[in-house]
Structure 1
Amino acid sequence: MGVIKLDSPLQYVKGVGPRKAEILEKYGLVQVRDLLFYFPRQYLDRTCVTTINQLNVNHPATIIGVVKAHGLLYGKRRRYEVILEDDTGAIAILFFQGVNYWQKTFKKGQIFAATGTVKWYQGYQMVHPELERLEDDSDKMIHAGRIIPVYPQTAELNKVGLNSRGMRKISSFIFDNLKEEIQDYLPNKESKELDLLDLNQAITKIHYPDNRDEVELCRRRLAFDELLGFQYLVFKNKISKEKTFKKHKYKKPGIKLKEFKEQLLFKFTSGQKKVLNEIFEDLQSKHPMTRLLQGDVGCGKTVVAISASLYVAENKMQTAFMAPTEILAAQHYRNWSGLLEGIGIKSALLTASIKPAEKKEIGKLCSDGEIDILFGTHALIYDYVGFKKLGLVIIDEQHRFGVEQRSKLYAKGDNPDLLVMTATPIPRTLALTLYGDLDISTIEGLPPGRKKIRTAWRSEDSLEKIYQFVEDEINKNGQAYIIYPLIEKSEQLDLENVEDAFSELSKNRFKDYKVGMVHGRTKPKARDKILKDFRDGNLDILMSTTVIEVGLDNPNATVMIINHAERFGLAQLHQLRGRIGRGEKQSTLIAVSYPPVSDYASQRLQYFSDNLDGFKIAEADLEMRGPGEMFGLRQAGIPELKVVRISSDRDLMEKARSLLEKMFRLQDNLDEEYQIMYNYLTNKAEKNNPRLGGG
């Protein structure tokens, strides 16, 4: 390609071609502009490469060495070892995961840079360091004295040569030949007041910084852009909401809710009462409700949502209650349908595994207004499902649904009220930024009588003691979950899996106990029977993947063992912990880690063991993983916050919000510079639609 411009197709850039372009497109990288916004995930500081004889144990370092030997080692665990040498000594590089992949990676005589924490066991070691292959001595010199960007990597990218090194070659060629600059849309006055870099400079230098300080300056400018674009969408949705009116009106709550409460075996907590009043006020408003209901695992969100749907049913309107999994949808229906029927409220369950004839019948009954509350999964969005008068849409675990799925369900009514629920609490620092167009209700506290769940972190060499503890609990009439990260053996990941573990443990270690297994590929009928047997006490142990993460309710389960806990995020660990401690018995969770455990994973597991508060867990998870991954922003159709750091960028959030307030206030009288900014944000927003309702 001769002249490279921002909208030039990547396919024609030197080093790409049709095959690589096809793979890049899967990651949203189509034009040159896209690659410029594909930021490094971290940097290797080669300005201070250390010789092997100068390494300090338990300190991070970057070394450059030649592969002198490599091969498989067997012992307690299979591992792959590579010996790198420089002029001063040797270091062993160890891999416990992805052994098959690493076997194909190394050849004797190759030059590699390795960055990681130095350990000592019969010599210097690094476990799963960041690796970069260097072509030859000249390449070694080029990379030895600078800060090197490391790009996000996957096996698919690596396979076609789009590893970090390949991406650097392509981006370097682009920057050397790009004949067009990215125009900054921010007014000069605002850039100066906010002390932000020019956009073009920030994008160039975030890929090839001269020093660490420059990385942070670039990151802050790009973080401001992300926050401004994100909050622009929030502002627009809020304005749209204020201009929308619903056609249905509600009277005050009647007798049904009173009858419902009388049948419950518990009383509402003060937190539940407060939130329910907020929802009722919204339902009586002339504008459609758009409310997020949040709270810690087990705080009683579902009964509040059911109470809201009762109020809607009393006013001759219908409720669609959508859950992300068949397990959770079926549990909601099973838990509440009997009580609802007792007070004259008709409910039904619709999931993908129900027989076609039954689906059709449920769809017709709902269209005729014969069903007051329809529980279900994404099956609710199918065309054969209609509602005569859809008044309320409830979406459980909303971040697990795509924007299109939510929009389709919402569109089945005429501006219905919307209640979305999450058991991943939104940290207070993020709530305004992420859900500023929603009203947020938080249920504080847990129902009385619940005991604190004891949580411990142990390594795999404690498994026998852990299994003995499981036996002791079962012998005291408790039940246990044992969780695994994989369904079956994987060539890429050297991790324990539930199928092999079930085969081994059910026949040997736990042969005297009733053991069941469930995972994402278990057939619905078999799965439902296994879960029912576990709930009814006919199984002592349920071995599972994270398919049971959300909503499964068995008050008699007192133990959970999570294998390879180092592979899970904090929020997911906390969700899993919420499956126990749901009755009055003392419950215990044991997180089991397998080597290697990174410093980052150790920090995460220690924090998890020490904290039971879901809001504190959410804050910490936010810091460790970022909001995009934690709250499923990509899944929600919302632009990702790739470089924003919630803890250190709170000032940028406020500044972005303040600038937008000013822009919308002066919308009809914007000067040329501010109009450019408004047009830029509007065009960008057209590609994204974060509304949790219908659009």
Structure 2
Amino acid sequence: MEQSLPVSHVVGIGKAKAALLEDAGIRTVDGLLHFFPVRYEDKSVKPFEAFVHGTQVTARAVVEGAAKIRWTGKRSTVSAAVRIDGRVRLTAMWFNQPYLRQKLVDGQVLVVSGRYDAVRKVIVVSQTDFSLAAAHLGGAFTPVYRSVGGMSSAQLQSVMERALTQFGDRLPDVLPVQYREKYRLISHPQAVFAMHRPRSSEDLHQAHRRLAFEEFFLFQLQLQWYRAQETGVQEGTAHNVPDDVMDQFAAVVPYPLTEAQRAACSQIVADMRAPRAMARLLQGDVGSGKTWVAFYAVFAATRSGAQSALMAPTELLAEQHFRNAEPILGSLGVRMRLLTGATTESARQETLQALAVGQIDLLIGTHALLTDRVQFHDLGLVVTDEQHRFGVAQRSVLRDKGHVPDVLMLTATPIPRTLALAVYGDLDVSVLRERPAGRQPIFTVWLPFAREPYAIRLARRHLARGEQVYVVAPLVDSSEALTDIRSATELVVRLQDEFAGYQTDLLHGRMSTADKDAVMRRFLAGEVHVLVSTTVIEVGIDVPSATVMLIYHAERFGLAQLHQLRGRVGRGERESECVLLSDAGNDMARARLQTMVDTTDGFVIAERDLELRGPGEFLGVRQSGLPEFSVGDLTRDLKVMEVARDEASQLLSQPDFWLLPRYGKLRDWMEHIPNAGWYRA
């Protein structure tokens, strides 16, 4: 391909410029042509009535009389009277361009761009065009490029013009014609030209539509292909799940299933009955009932004759799952065992023997499930709770203990749908947005530190009713650099006096796993009434009698983190309250706290968090699953991503995709995916 040629093949790019571009990652002609502007300066000529004081304007002007020049040392100012729109007289000024005095003659027609001063009736000109063509322009968008190795935007614009002239019309278009016709998309070369040489805002809009769809479509095509390679399109077990599993399961759960839970259950069973392995992410807000859906999947697998594994990140969470599963799944005849690092050797040996011969239907545990000693008779379903706590390799180890088992991953961190499709695009996603019956809403209030005594009194009222309190601090210890921030170790000492008569304890991430578990067990048993902690409790066990959370310096936490912390209360049937203590001064922090007060919907919070911080910060700078798109916007182009995913999935499922000539260019592109060369098989 000509586009894979080094950038030095573009006229005017010598060794020095090529080295600068290559250092910035722009090594080929294709890479250069797809290095798009970061923004555009609107140089479209507008009537005088559209001028706004203090803003950049572009105007068609006629010089009246002779220009004047004034020198201050070596600095010069050229000024000329100009008439705008043939009727409004202003003064145009140019700094340090003395040569212009000779060109600014009476009657000269030109287009000027600069800052308009309505008070002085002056345009301070930054760009001038004397060409007759420019004088008749109806609009012009000037691209602005990110500086590369000291090369300015103007230099890059010149380089890009030459690259477009040489190679622009030879750009390949891998998108099949059927999509261009279906969605009325311009061609790839047209879109690239429009990104660098837009004639209007409509040009830019059409270029964005085309390139965003192409980026998302090709990305989703890769994800779908990788998934097909990992699970096999026809590989897996088509589980024979009886039709009465839903009725039986719904009869034993404490509260009626929500419509969202029933929909997720139906999606899971449909996956289990299909001949390919399930790969589904169950995304639900805190308290939305994900665990019951997971238990339903286990029951469906048991009824089909297969074994299940449920892996949790901590022993306490694994024990909680086991306690919750016993009254529900136990009553349905599911045989289950718990396996953690704390399991005695004799109990472990008995469990492993029973598991290997198929006498256990469900094994719940921690990383202990990953050891070589754990062998299943017929593992058909793998469930991972808080799936982000486990690496890909760990999940693969558990999956490899069966013959391509179905996989269900749970997450309590709501992710906006565009990000979910980008990060988990190779998975099917089920979403739980409703709160099950019996769950009380959490009342949230934001208070300045001057009202801390009120927060303490509120907590004491709940303690007097036999309830429990979380207190969250952003730091473990006091910091010399942050003297005004209350730490967890400082608070636990001070609050022992404030909560005299109640047992107060401390929990933080520097403690050993055994010590952390011991503190949480005491809190769960009601022996500790006030738990002062850092964010280590963000994902933790359910303590139904914990009804109050005080979050100190709440402005120091992200929105998603605040929401996860707040989710530790309101786990039972009692009314719960969350107090955000903060003297936040900056606008973003105040916006985050106000969002927490306004809503308890994790998905609304996630969308707001994405708007405030952008996708990279939302997921964390080291989030490995976040792709980079040069045109598509994950905060804005949800519909495009959804359509692209559906089209990619449908295309790969068509047998004639591998044969028909019209998909030839797309197959050639896919052959260059790492570890590809696949369609010839």
Q: Does 1:345 align with 2:335?
A: yes
TM-score (norm 1): 0.64
Q: Residues 663, 526 of structure 1: CA spacing in aligned structure 2 closer, same or farther, 3 A cutoff?
A: closer
Of residues 608-617 and 282-291 in structure 1, the stretch that sits farther from structure 2 once superposed is 282-291
Partner of 1:487: 476
Residue 384 of structure 1, CA deviation: 3.7
Q: Residues 387, 496 of structure 1: CA spacing in aligned structure 2 closer, same or farther, 3 A cutoff?
A: farther
Q: Residues 448, 649 of structure 1: CA spacing in aligned structure 2 closer, same or farther, 3 A cutoff?
A: closer
The aligned runs of 1:28-427 (5 Å cut-off) are 186=174, 194-195=185-186, 223-236=212-225, 243-247=233-237, 249-250=239-240, 252=242, 258=248, 262=252, 265-269=254-258, 271-337=260-326, 343=333, 345-351=335-341, 366-425=355-414, 427=416
- After superposition, the C-alpha distances for 1:63-92 in whole angstroms (9 at most, x for unaligned) are xxxxxxxxxxxxxxxxxxxxxxxxxxxxxx
Q: Whole-Å Cα distance in 1 between the matches of residues 312 and 204 of structure 2?
A: 42
Q: Residues 149, 559 of structure 1: CA spacing in aligned structure 2 closer, same or farther, 3 A cutoff?
A: farther
Q: What letter matches 2:338 in structure 1?
A: A
CA RMSD of aligned residues (A): 5.5
State the secondary structure of the residue aligned to 1:448.
coil
Greater RCO structure (CA 8 Å; 6+ sep): 1
Q: What letter matches 2:601 in structure 1?
A: D
Partner of 2:465: 476
Q: What letter matches 2:553 in structure 1?
A: H
Gaps of 5+ in 2: 1-5, 10-16, 44-53, 56-125, 127-141, 677-681
Confirm or deny: 8 A CA contact 1:622 1:646 kept in the other structure: no
Q: Residues 460, 297 of structure 1: CA spacing in aligned structure 2 closer, same or farther, 3 A cutoff?
A: same
Q: Residues 358, 222 of structure 1: CA spacing in aligned structure 2 closer, same or farther, 3 A cutoff?
A: farther
- After superposition, the C-alpha distances for 1:324-364 in whole angstroms (9 at most, x for unaligned) are 4444333223433576567561311335x778897777656
Q: Whole-Å Cα distance in 2 between the matches of residues 203 and 521 of structure 1?
A: 55
State the secondary structure of the residue aligned to 2:528.
coil
Q: Residues 35, 602 of structure 1: CA spacing in aligned structure 2 closer, same or farther, 3 A cutoff?
A: farther
Q: Residues 470, 656 of structure 1: CA spacing in aligned structure 2 closer, same or farther, 3 A cutoff?
A: same
| Percent identity of equivalent pairs | 34
Partner of 2:514: 525
Q: Whole-Å Cα distance in 2 between the matches of residues 463 and 585 of structure 1?
A: 23
- After superposition, the C-alpha distances for 1:342-390 in whole angstroms (9 at most, x for unaligned) are 7561311335x77889777765654454543222334433434332211
State the secondary structure of the residue aligned to 1:683.
coil
The aligned runs of 1:536-685 (5 Å cut-off) are 536-598=525-587, 600-626=588-614, 630=618, 637=625, 639-640=627-628, 644-646=632-634, 648-650=636-638, 652-653=640-641, 656=644, 660=648, 667-668=657-658, 675-684=664-673
Q: What letter matches 2:517 in structure 1?
A: D
Of residues 174-183 and 505-514 in structure 1, the stretch that sits farther from structure 2 once superposed is 174-183
State the secondary structure of the residue aligned to 1:294.
strand
Partner of 1:106: none
Q: Whole-Å Cα distance in 2 between the matches of residues 271 and 552 of structure 1?
A: 23
Confirm or deny: 8 A CA contact 1:202 1:217 kept in the other structure: no
Partner of 1:448: 437
Q: What letter matches 1:616 in structure 2?
A: V
Q: Whole-Å Cα distance in 2 between the matches of residues 39 and 466 of structure 1?
A: 53
Residue 257 of structure 1, CA deviation: 9.1
Q: Whole-Å Cα distance in 2 between the matches of residues 566 and 276 of structure 1?
A: 38
Q: Residues 517, 365 of structure 1: CA spacing in aligned structure 2 closer, same or farther, 3 A cutoff?
A: farther
Q: Residues 676, 597 of structure 1: CA spacing in aligned structure 2 closer, same or farther, 3 A cutoff?
A: same
Q: Whole-Å Cα distance in 2 between the matches of residues 360 and 4 of structure 1?
A: 65
Q: Whole-Å Cα distance in 2 between the matches of residues 500 and 247 of structure 1?
A: 53
Partner of 2:85: none
Of residues 215-224 and 285-294 in structure 1, the stretch that sits farther from structure 2 once superposed is 215-224
Residue 302 of structure 1, CA deviation: 0.6
Q: What letter matches 2:513 in structure 1?
A: P
Confirm or deny: 8 A CA contact 2:299 2:334 kept in the other structure: no
Q: Is the radius of gyration larger for structure 1 or structure 2? A: 2
Partner of 1:89: none
State the secondary structure of the residue aligned to 2:462.
helix
Partner of 1:112: none
Gaps of 5+ in 1: 7-11, 48-59, 62-140, 151-164, 688-695
Q: Residues 185, 489 of structure 1: CA spacing in aligned structure 2 closer, same or farther, 3 A cutoff?
A: farther
TM-score (norm 2): 0.65
State the secondary structure of the residue aligned to 2:310.
strand
Q: Residues 172, 473 of structure 1: CA spacing in aligned structure 2 closer, same or farther, 3 A cutoff?
A: farther
- After superposition, the C-alpha distances for 1:636-678 in whole angstroms (9 at most, x for unaligned) are 7563557643453245436645874796566345558x53443
Q: Residues 500, 38 of structure 1: CA spacing in aligned structure 2 closer, same or farther, 3 A cutoff?
A: farther
Q: Residues 670, 630 of structure 1: CA spacing in aligned structure 2 closer, same or farther, 3 A cutoff?
A: farther
- After superposition, the C-alpha distances for 1:260-294 in whole angstroms (9 at most, x for unaligned) are 955x5545445544543443444344443333333
Residue 253 of structure 1, CA deviation: 7.2
Confirm or deny: 8 A CA contact 1:663 1:670 kept in the other structure: no
Q: Whole-Å Cα distance in 2 between the matches of residues 219 and 635 of structure 1?
A: 26
Partner of 1:131: none
> Aligned residues, how many?
566
Residue 393 of structure 1, CA deviation: 0.7
Of residues 523-532 and 641-650 in structure 1, the stretch that sits farther from structure 2 once superposed is 641-650
